[in-house]
Structure 1
Amino acid sequence: MAVHKTTSPSLSSRGEAVDSKDAYHVNQNADPEATLEAHNEPPYVVDHAAERALCRKFDFRLLPVLAVMYLFNALDKGNLSNAKTDGMDTDLGFKGNQYNIILSVFYVPYVLMAPVFGMVGKKYGPARVLPLLMTSFGSWTLLTAAAQNFGGMLTLRILLGMSESAFFPLVIYYLTTFYRRGELARRLAIFYAASNIANAFSGLLSVGVFQIKNTSLYPWRYLFLIEGALTFLFSIFAFFYLPSNAAAARFLNDNEKALAYHRIQVDSSSVVNEEFNLRESLKIFKHASTYAFLGIEVCLGVPLQSVTLFLPQIVARLGYNKIKTNLYTVAPNVTGAVMLLVLAFSSDYARLRSPFIVLGFVFTFVGFIIYATIDVEHDINLAYFATFMMCWGTSAPSVLLSTWYNNNVAHEGRRVVLTSVGVPLANVMGLVSSNIFFPSSAPKYIPALATTAAFGATGACLAALLGLYMVFDNKRRDRKLGRKLDIREVPTELLRDGPTVPEFRWFL
């Protein structure tokens, strides 16, 4: 068996800092059982209390700040639909489908620039790149308050799409450098719940702002001024607050830093803080599973963007005025955040992803089908309940899907590349959403609702099929080994090359 070692800090089984040479690159022809026996670094840490205390520090120090950052990210991206209910399109002289165009154009630079900024974030560190991206999109949101016509708004949306492109992928990658694989979903859920809260907060803020009277500015302009200014100010704080990695976190002592390093090396990354190598990172596209994950992202994107961009318009069919319409978007978004947390915590507890992703897609399908097929005017309560299911079904899969493929990619560079392609791919499906909700089909939007439901059903089928494939492939690998191998027995440093490695087991 050929084993090559690189020096790295580690821990004893008691969680104490020790020096060892324990980062292995294993010959693919080696016997899997022998490789596991030769690997003397345990994937578990005996001192569970120390791990829990460390995670609590990360939770309290990192998650609130990241959640607020993502809240502003979601606000700045999705506030156009609220502004439209106050007549923004009329005030700026939009004609025909120009509103749909400014929604669509956002996603072109969003997709094109996400891999680029994702790689920049890997190279220079997400703790520095994320606040800089936030400063940028906060500035464009501020300037949106000064837009005077379609051309000005179009330019600002292009710049906003560039600035926001890699934000979510980089946050996901950043968190994978602090948490084990089985701890990640609930943390990402807490973080991502900020987007639901943002949509709810945007509705509440709109209710207040749209009642401003006797002013030289249109009320919707204050929406962009307030949200843009808050985003810009918070980005300055985040730049100086976020640690570049666990080893640089001022709130950890030396033993905690060593423990943090060990946890990630045995249960997240093959090589912790690995130098970015573009050629190695692009090898992620040699794996068939990559394209399955990306296909599910496509199916997720249409329902996700339909809810993000058009929930106020969907709710408007209930027949309320603009104040009540914005107010009635709050509860579905809040319950969407709650459902996200329930499914994510359940997923981490069960150490399963695919069943909960399928359940989310089912919620999406049922919600949109109900709204498309019933007589909304005569069954308002059921129609409003369907909007809750729409939010339930778009929140959970987005987090759990990103967690799922991050759990199955141990190479840090490949992980950030896949996330930087997958997340924008889901978002670029806003091009579909913004071009199926035609003004001519308002207020029922039946073709758009049916199309969105179809994407939800397809996503459920793809996620279920990929999950079943992983189950059968793990069993095949176990038969070849001669015994059942628990995924937690295999340190991630052995899994650098993914499914080509005999010791690899899918995280279901």
Structure 2
Amino acid sequence: MGTDEWTESIGEKSDIEQCDVAYEYLVQRRMGDESPTEFDAGLRRKIDIWIMPFLCMIYFLQFLDKTLLNYSAAMGIKKGLKGNEFSNLGTIFYASYIFAEPFMSYVLQTKRLAKSLSVCIILWGVVLAAHAACKTYASLMIVRTLLGILESSSALGVIAIGNMYYTKSEQASRIGYWSVHSGTATMAGALLSFAFQHVRTTRFVSWQILFLVVGLATVLFGVVAWFYLPDNVTNAWFLDDDEKMATLEHIRGNLTGTESKTCKRSQVYELFFRDKFTWPMLLLTATSQIVTGAIGTFSVTIIGTFGFNSYVSALVQIPLGAIIVIIILIVTQLVSYFGNITIIMASMFVPSVIGAIAMLCLDLTKQKVGNLLSLYLLYSGSCAISLIYVWNTVNTAGHTKRMLRNALTMICFSLSSLLGPQMFRASEFPHYTSAKIAILVTQAVSIPLALGIGYITKKENYRRDCNSQQSETQSSVPTKEFEFLDLTDNENSHFRYLI
């Protein structure tokens, strides 16, 4: 099929612009009946070399940068803060994150993805470094607000870029590769906190130097990303034309395309009112990630209540980071090779439930090791966000719908992270009983929620298998190219969900 026939089948130029950018590229290249170039292990390795380091580093920096507040608790940032003001610094970050997320979703879809993301990275690095100049509670609230706004671009951008290059099974493993850096960032933060506690200057205290150094490093990485991170497959500078087409053919079977620069109201409406998975998935995100907000800001403080000093409280974060890495790698690789995302996700909440029960039962200071191990168990449920990323990526088609679903997921994640620190009230120090009970309840509720979503998914796939008649939308487009027409998973009867 030639260019003219393609154009006629899909409509006028304005209709073509509604499609995926890959469709436009294929039209220009007259790929109709040509045999696709082979996508081999060498090309996959080439994409991994040039794309994965950027995704890993972006996720590493966004996690490290936002959790420096946690580590600075052991470095003196609380001096001068009263009552719940430290909790409020954690809360305002996520409040601003929630506020900015829909705007960032729109910008990242309609503008140049990598360039927009790079600007955000540079700016949040500047804001992070500006923490060093803060001497009052009000000034800290301002920089935390700005940091939340700018970092709201990170997960959205990383997920969108990764979706362009890999098949569904590859995406599950690659999401594991970059999301494990929440663990490496935890370890790095612990080591940096321990190291900078020994730094003394007449002008800055240790936590201010930490923010300044990490902020400047973030700015430098943002500049590198501006020049070397491509916006999509069609303008990936490290691929030649044959390799670009081979990559597009490789991901054709995802039925999710790459990206579309048109924000479609119909896909927004479908996500909110016609998609049976939207609200259950958002509820699961909210309940499962309450624990993340709680321990993300207060893990050092909690460990301090076990009787450890500030140096040890920082160092024991290192095995915690290693645990995060191990959990995420195991579960994402299992999903990549075997599927069964429902069972794997539901099982992740069991250790968290056990950990929460143990923390409520153990003596706070007499059983230090038991309390510490219980805290470590909580991170199993926290790591479930990685599989939620996978579910959103492989089970959502339609670029506007996928971007908005990811934005809503991050809003729910942020709401949970916002509520988590507020559960730790100064009046309940050092036991924080209410917070521990809330963690137990939310992790327990997440198990039937995950299983329920899996049941709905299985029933929907069965319904589609039984219904062999194609939708009206699909019957009017070229069979070979419908994968790049930016159809949603509801519009495309060929689409099957990962269970």
**TM-score, normalised to structure 2's length?**
0.88
1:137 Cα deviation after fit: 0.9
1:75 is aligned to 64
1:279 is aligned to 265
2:31 is aligned to 19
**Which of 398, 402, 418 is equivalent to 1:411?**
398
Distance 1:268 1:139 in 2: 39
The aligned amino acid for 1:458 is: V
1:143 aligns with 2:130: yes
Summarize the alignment of residues 30-49 of structure 1 with structure 2, pairs less than 5 Å apart: 47=38
Is the contact between residue 96 and residue 145 of structure 2 (CA under 8 Å) also seen in structure 1? Answer: yes
Give a deviation string over 1:189-226, Cα, whole Å, max 9, x none: 11111121111111110101011235332211111111
1:393 Cα deviation after fit: 2.6
Is the contact between residue 164 and residue 232 of structure 2 (CA under 8 Å) also seen in structure 1? Answer: yes
1:322 Cα deviation after fit: 0.2
Give a deviation string over 1:351-376, Cα, whole Å, max 9, x none: 23222211222232222222222224
Is the contact between residue 407 and residue 507 of structure 1 (CA under 8 Å) also seen in structure 2? Answer: yes
Is the contact between residue 266 and residue 491 of structure 1 (CA under 8 Å) also seen in structure 2? Answer: no
1:381 is aligned to 369
1:360 aligns with 2:353: no
Distance 2:201 2:161 in 1: 46
2:184 is aligned to 197
Q: How many residues in Structure 1 have an aligned counterpart in Structure 2?
A: 468
Rate the CA distance shift 1:355–1:492 in 2: closer, same or farther, 3 A: farther
The aligned amino acid for 2:341 is: R
Summarize the alignment of residues 57-136 of structure 1 with structure 2, pairs less than 5 Å apart: 57-90=46-79, 93-136=80-123
Summarize the alignment of residues 103-502 of structure 1 with structure 2, pairs less than 5 Å apart: 103-213=90-200, 215-270=202-257, 272-283=258-269, 284-286=271-273, 287-395=275-383, 397-481=384-468, 492-493=483-484, 496-499=487-490, 501-502=492-493
1:14 is aligned to none
Distance 2:85 2:229 in 1: 40
1:55 aligns with 2:44: yes
Give a deviation string over 1:294-316, Cα, whole Å, max 9, x none: 11111122112122111112222
1:21 Cα deviation after fit: 7.5
1:485 is aligned to none
Rate the CA distance shift 1:383–1:275 in 2: closer, same or farther, 3 A: same
Distance 1:203 1:138 in 2: 19
**TM-score, normalised to structure 1's length?**
0.86
Percent of aligned positions that are identical: 22
Distance 1:124 1:214 in 2: 44
Question: Structure 2: any 5+ residue segments left out of the alignment?
Answer: 1-7, 11-15, 17-22, 470-479
The aligned amino acid for 1:87 is: G
Give a deviation string over 1:317-354, Cα, whole Å, max 9, x none: 32111001100111011121111011101111012322
Rate the CA distance shift 1:437–1:217 in 2: closer, same or farther, 3 A: same
Provide the secondary structure at the position in 2 that maps to 1:89.
Answer: coil
| RMSD across aligned positions (CA) | 2.5
1:31 is aligned to none
Give a deviation string over 1:76-122, Cα, whole Å, max 9, x none: 111112111222121xx222211112211112221111111111011
Is the contact between residue 78 and residue 308 of structure 1 (CA under 8 Å) also seen in structure 2? Answer: yes
The aligned amino acid for 1:169 is: L
The aligned amino acid for 2:387 is: L
Rate the CA distance shift 1:451–1:262 in 2: closer, same or farther, 3 A: same
Provide the secondary structure at the position in 1 that maps to 2:133.
Answer: coil
Provide the secondary structure at the position in 2 that maps to 1:462.
Answer: helix
Distance 2:461 2:200 in 1: 64
Distance 2:366 2:131 in 1: 39
Rate the CA distance shift 1:351–1:18 in 2: closer, same or farther, 3 A: farther
Rate the CA distance shift 1:384–1:96 in 2: closer, same or farther, 3 A: closer
1:390 Cα deviation after fit: 1.7
Distance 2:58 2:232 in 1: 18
Is the contact between residue 494 and residue 503 of structure 1 (CA under 8 Å) also seen in structure 2? Answer: no
Rate the CA distance shift 1:273–1:214 in 2: closer, same or farther, 3 A: closer
Distance 2:255 2:468 in 1: 23
Is the contact between residue 265 and residue 491 of structure 1 (CA under 8 Å) also seen in structure 2? Answer: no
Distance 1:138 1:365 in 2: 36
1:4 Cα deviation after fit: 4.4
Is the contact between residue 267 and residue 491 of structure 1 (CA under 8 Å) also seen in structure 2? Answer: no
Distance 2:113 2:399 in 1: 13
1:125 Cα deviation after fit: 2.5
2:476 is aligned to none
The aligned amino acid for 1:344 is: T
Question: Structure 1: any 5+ residue segments left out of the alignment?
Answer: 12-16, 23-40, 483-488
2:477 is aligned to none
Distance 2:401 2:59 in 1: 23
Is the contact between residue 312 and residue 326 of structure 1 (CA under 8 Å) also seen in structure 2? Answer: yes
Distance 1:390 1:398 in 2: 13
Provide the secondary structure at the position in 1 that maps to 2:215.
Answer: helix
The aligned amino acid for 2:310 is: K
The aligned amino acid for 2:32 is: S
Rate the CA distance shift 1:94–1:504 in 2: closer, same or farther, 3 A: same
The aligned amino acid for 1:80 is: L
The aligned amino acid for 1:274 is: S
Is the contact between residue 436 and residue 447 of structure 1 (CA under 8 Å) also seen in structure 2? Answer: yes
Distance 2:482 2:311 in 1: 54
